[in-house]
Amino acid sequence: MTRHALIVVASLATACSALAQEAAPGKEAPKAPEPPAPAVPAAPIAPVKQPPPPQAPPSPMVLTGVVKDLDGKDVDLASFKGKVCLIVNVASNCGYTHQYVGLEALYAQKKDQGFVILAFPANDFLGQEPGTAAQIKEVCYGKYKVTFPMFAKVSVVGGPEQAALYKQIAAQPAPVGGDPKWNFTKFLVDRNGNVIERFEPRIRPSDAVLLAAIDRELAKKGGETATPEPAPASPPAEGGK
């Protein structure tokens, strides 16, 4: 056999050996490439939440609705529109009760100019107005001789029993709004029926800051709007006329 023939035989033998190894049992055939994973869809974009529309401020009109007077008769608060009103929560056994004297003097002095005081007995603070309507009359009419309108006892602080009038007052923005902090808190109402200023109990009926506010409103005609001025804050210390 020639040398060339030997080379050919050797090459064939090598090829056959390689084929035999590939076909041998237990040997895995080369894997085909895996297809690409499907694309993951993008998450939907959540809609942008719009802020809620701003709420309209509460109406400053407080002379609405019907209340009971101290005799149990219905009184329409709207009947006081056209007058300058001072709304006061009163009590018979309070250190400020003597302010009835100053309130009556203030009413007598300015009622002919279109001023009126609307007094609402309330038992919300340390039970200082516990009596019946007849007992309240003994104090305000008998002892202090008041002649301004007195109304039936109500609750003036937040809760299910709070009078509608005081709910409307409490809903006002500062410095007017909020529940009374004590007896003889005073709220000034203009001729249009809008509550415009607040005076804490320590502000006496004869105090210059209160008198000036009342006179300013009395000088206005119905329909003119008022610019509220902050009233001095005060703790509920008792006393004063």
Instruction: Kindly report the three-state secondary structure assignment for every residue of 8-48.
Output: HHHHHHHHHHHHHHHCCCCCCCCCCCCCCCCCCCCCCCCCC
Q: What is the pLDDT of residues 119-156, one digit of tens each?
A: 999 999 999 999 999 999 999 999 999 999 999 999 99
Task: Give me the residue spans of the domains in the chain.
Answer: 66-218
- Give me the pLDDT at residue 101, please: 98
What values do phi and psi take at 50, rounded to 5? -85, 140
CB atoms within 10 A of CB 82: 14
Of 182, 220, 188, the C-alpha closest to 202 is: 182
Provide the mean pLDDT of the chain: 85
Label residue 175 by pLDDT band (50, 70, 90): very high
Q: What is the pLDDT of residues 71-83, one digit of tens each?
A: 999 999 999 999 9
User: Is residue 92 over pLDDT 70?
Assistant: yes
94 is catalytic: yes
> Catalytic: which of 16, 85, 94, 140?
94
**Cβ burial, residue 238 (10 Å; 0-12/13-18/19+):** middle
pLDDT (mean) for 50-68: 89
Model pTM?
Answer: 0.73
CATH architecture of 66-218: 3-Layer(aba) Sandwich (3.40)
- Give me the pLDDT at residue 56, please: 81
